[in-house]
């Protein structure tokens, strides 16, 4: 795959980040407005206790309720996003169990990172390590203060210097191309939608399992609330599908670009190909429960299941391209 160049990729990622920042509030507010429309259509707005599906939509009431909810939705999501955005480093470290790696603990890694950053003309990132005998690596962070390259202990033990240099060059390219900032943004957006879905599902479960009241009016009221939560869950699922598909498209593209940029930076594409082959035999960090964080890894822990009989449909929802295809492209350099 032809490398399009650092500045072109940075510009592209900046535009995608802006698009996500613009698209997500529009998507979320559209879901809120549509939710109010469906409530009105089902006849359960204005605290009605009765369901009258097929009633006329009260547009004036819908728009009034939407304008009243607008500042709350924007405010809550805005604060949520800001907190998650600036605490992303802590979030990733907690999910993976990564710890800072001091120079005295492994000067080999520091020398490789320093040489590559000087070649690339970029600042030295932080270096973290995960105590895992399996193999993997990833880059994270949103700015110079938080940019981090993380490797597993198994990776350092198995790869030779040239292969390790190829992997680190790959991760530095993610940082140089602003991939990490773009992915952190998409992770936060998908996380917000997922949390809203979980709240709706838990509330729905609580309502359906609450048998404390048995009067006819209470049953009618419960039915209206139940339908409202079902509508919310359906709309959240729609929003989640759109958000997750955007994340998949971003993830696949960035891996090919990072492979090409890493090969260019280290000057040894076959070393990176050899490293990917070794990592694919024993991809680590499979104990990480958050798939949104796992998409940062150079090879997803489940990334090779397509070779073992997974359906074509499953491969469409993979956040990483096929590892064998990546190796084949690198060996053509």
Domain ranges of the chain: 1-333
**Top-confidence range, 49-58, 85-94, 185-194, 304-313:** 85-94
With a pLDDT cut of 70, the percent of the chain lying above it is: 74
Query: Tens of pLDDT along 174-211?
Result: 999 888 887 887 777 777 777 777 776 776 667 566 55
* CB 176 within 8 Å of CB 120: yes
The backbone region for 2, taken as left when phi is positive above 0, alpha when psi lies in -120 to 50, beta otherwise, is: beta
Of 154, 126, 157, 128, nearest to 142 by C-alpha is 126
**Top-confidence range, 44-48, 89-93, 314-318:** 89-93
Listed in order, strand segments (DSSP E) in the chain are 99-100, 126-130, 137-140, 148-152
Taken in order 306, 307, 309, 311, is the CA torsion positive or negative?
Answer: positive
Query: Tens of pLDDT along 233-269?
Result: 787 777 777 766 766 666 667 788 889 889 999 999 9
Reduce the DSSP state of residue 62 to 3 states and report it: helix
The mean per-residue pLDDT over the stretch 44-56 comes to 52
pLDDT at 45 over 90: no
Q: Assess whether 165 carries a catalytic annotation.
A: no
The mean per-residue pLDDT over the stretch 307-318 comes to 47
Interatomic CA distance for residues 71 and 67, integer angstroms: 8
pLDDT at 203: 65
The mean per-residue pLDDT over the stretch 281-301 comes to 80
The mean per-residue pLDDT over the stretch 148-175 comes to 95
Neighbours of 185 (CB within 10 A): 25
pLDDT at 111: 95
Interatomic CA distance for residues 13 and 15, integer angstroms: 5
CA distances from 194 to 187, 245, 297, 317 (A): 10, 14, 21, 17
Confidence bin at 317 (pLDDT 50/70/90): low
Confidence bin at 313 (pLDDT 50/70/90): very low
28-42, 95-109, 212-226, 313-327: which has the minimum mean pLDDT? 212-226
Confidence bin at 308 (pLDDT 50/70/90): very low
The mean per-residue pLDDT over the stretch 85-96 comes to 86
pLDDT at 101 over 90: yes
Cα 118 to the center of its chain, rounded Å: 30
Q: Write down how long the chain is.
A: 333
pLDDT at 112: 96
Average pLDDT taken over every residue of the chain: 78
Put the strands of the sheet holding 137-140 in their side by side order.
99-100, 126-130, 148-152, 137-140
Listed in order, strand segments (DSSP E) in 114-185 are 126-130, 137-140, 148-152
Neighbours of 269 (CB within 10 A): 21
pTM for the full predicted model? 0.74
Q: Alpha-carbon dihedral of residues 17, 19, 20, 23, nearest 10 degrees?
A: 170
In the set 45, 165, 171, 255, the catalytic residue is 171
Of 108, 107, 192, 180, nearest to 144 by C-alpha is 180
């Amino acid at each position: 795959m032809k490398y399009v160049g650092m500045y072109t990729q940075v510009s592209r990622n900046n535009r995608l980040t802006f698009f996500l920042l613009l698209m997500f509030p529009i998507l979320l507010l559209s879901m809120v407005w549509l939710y109010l429309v469906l409530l009105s259509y089902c006849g359960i707005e204005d605290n009605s206790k009765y369901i009258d599906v097929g009633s006329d939509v009260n547009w004036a009431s819908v728009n009034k309720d939407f304008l009243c909810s607008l500042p709350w939705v924007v405010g809550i999501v805005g604060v949520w996003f800001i907190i998650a955005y600036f605490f992303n480093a802590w979030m990733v470290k907690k999910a993976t169990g990564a710890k800072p790696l001091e120079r005295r603990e492994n000067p080999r890694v520091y020398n490789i990172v320093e040489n590559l950053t000087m070649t690339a003309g970029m600042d030295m990132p932080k270096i973290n390590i995960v105590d895992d005998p399996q193999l993997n690596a990833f880059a994270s962070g949103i700015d110079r203060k938080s940019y981090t390259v993380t490797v597993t202990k198994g990776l350092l033990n198995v790869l030779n210097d040239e292969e390790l240099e190829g992997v680190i060059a790959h991760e530095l390219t993610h940082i140089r191309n602003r991939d990490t900032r773009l992915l952190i943004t998409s992770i936060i957006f998908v996380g917000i939608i997922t949390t809203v879905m979980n709240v709706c599902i838990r509330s729905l479960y609580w309502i359906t399992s609450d048998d404390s009241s048995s009067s006819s009016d209470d049953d009618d009221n419960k039915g209206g609330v139940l339908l409202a939560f079902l509508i919310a869950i359906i709309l959240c699922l729609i929003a989640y599908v759109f958000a997750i598909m955007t994340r998949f498209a971003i993830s696949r593209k960035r891996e090919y670009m990072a492979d090409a940029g890493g090969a260019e930076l280290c000057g040894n594409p076959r070393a990176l190909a050899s490293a990917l082959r070794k990592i694919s035999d024993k991809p680590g960090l499979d104990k990480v429960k958050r798939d949104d964080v796992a998409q940062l890894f150079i090879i997803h822990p489940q990334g090779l299941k397509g070779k073992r009989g997974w359906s074509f449909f499953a491969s469409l929802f993979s956040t990483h391209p096929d590892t064998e295809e990546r190796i084949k492209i690198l060996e053509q350099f």
